[in-house]
Structure 1
Amino acid sequence: MGRFSGKVALITGSSKGIGRAIAVRFAQEGANVIINSRNNDEHVAETIRQVEETGAKVHFIKSDISKVEVVYAMVKESVEVFGKLDILVNNAGVEINAPFWEVTEKDYDTVMNINLKGMFFLTQAFVRYMMENNVVGVIVNNSSVHEELPFPNFTAYCASKGAMQMVMRNLAVELGPLNIRINNVAPGAIKTPINADLLSKPELLGTLQNNISLRRLGEPEDVAGVVAFLASDDAKYVTGSTYYVDGGLTFHYTEQ
Structure 2
Amino acid sequence: MLVKLLENKSVVVTGGSRGIGRAIAVEAARHGADVALNYYRDNDAGYGRKSAVDSVVDEIEALGGRVVVLEGDVADPATGAQLVAAAVQAFGKIDVLAANAGICPFHAFLDIPLETFRRTMEINLHGAFYVTQAVARQMKEQGHGGAIVATSSISALVGGGLQAHYTPTKAGLHSLMQSCAIALGPYGIRCNSVLPGTIATDLNADDLSSPEKLAYMKGRIPLGRLGQPLDIANVVVFLASEMAAYVNGAALLVDGGLFVNLQ
TM-score range, shorter chain: over 0.9
SS at match of 1:98: coil
Q: Where does residue 34 of structure 2 map in the other structure?
A: 32
Q: Where does residue 204 of structure 1 map in the other structure?
A: 213
1:12 aligned to which of 11, 14, 24: 14
SS at match of 1:131: helix
Matched, 1:138 2:147: yes
Q: Deviations over 1:115-172 (max 9, x none)?
A: 0001001111111112223231110001110000111111110010111111111111
- For residue 207 of structure 1, report the CA deviation from its aligned partner: 0.9
- For residue 76 of structure 1, report the CA deviation from its aligned partner: 1.3
SS at match of 2:205: helix
- For residue 198 of structure 1, report the CA deviation from its aligned partner: 3.4
Matched, 1:104 2:113: yes
Matched, 1:21 2:23: yes
SS at match of 2:160: coil
Counterpart AA for 1:198: D
User: Is the contact between residue 9 and residue 32 of structure 2 (CA under 8 Å) also seen in structure 1?
Assistant: yes
2:203 aligned to which of 194, 199, 202: 194
Q: Which moved more, 1:206-215 or 1:110-119?
A: 206-215
- What is the TM-score when the length of structure 2 is the normalising length? 0.94
SS at match of 2:12: strand
Q: Spell out the pairing of 1:207-226 with structure 2 (5 A cutoff).
A: 207-226=216-235
- For residue 39 of structure 1, report the CA deviation from its aligned partner: 2.3
SS at match of 1:244: strand
- For residue 40 of structure 1, report the CA deviation from its aligned partner: 4.9
Q: Which moved more, 1:167-176 or 1:84-93?
A: 167-176
Q: Distance in 1 between matches of 2:255 and 2:26?
A: 21
Q: Deviations over 1:153-192 (max 9, x none)?
A: 1111001011111111111111111111011001111111
Query: How many matched pairs?
Result: 254
SS at match of 2:166: helix
Q: Where does residue 94 of structure 1 map in the other structure?
A: 103
Gaps of 5+ in 2: 44-50
Q: Where does residue 248 of structure 1 map in the other structure?
A: 257
Q: Deviations over 1:63-87 (max 9, x none)?
A: 0000111211111121111111110
Counterpart AA for 2:132: T
Q: Spell out the pairing of 1:12-161 with structure 2 (5 A cutoff).
A: 12-41=14-43, 42-161=51-170
User: Between the two proteins, what is the percent identity of the paired residues?
Assistant: 38
SS at match of 1:81: helix
Indicate the structure with greater helix content. 1
- What is the TM-score when the length of structure 1 is the normalising length? 0.96
Q: Distance in 2 between matches of 1:146 and 1:222?
A: 17
Counterpart AA for 1:24: V
Q: Distance in 2 between matches of 1:121 and 1:197?
A: 30
Gaps of 5+ in 1: none
SS at match of 2:207: helix
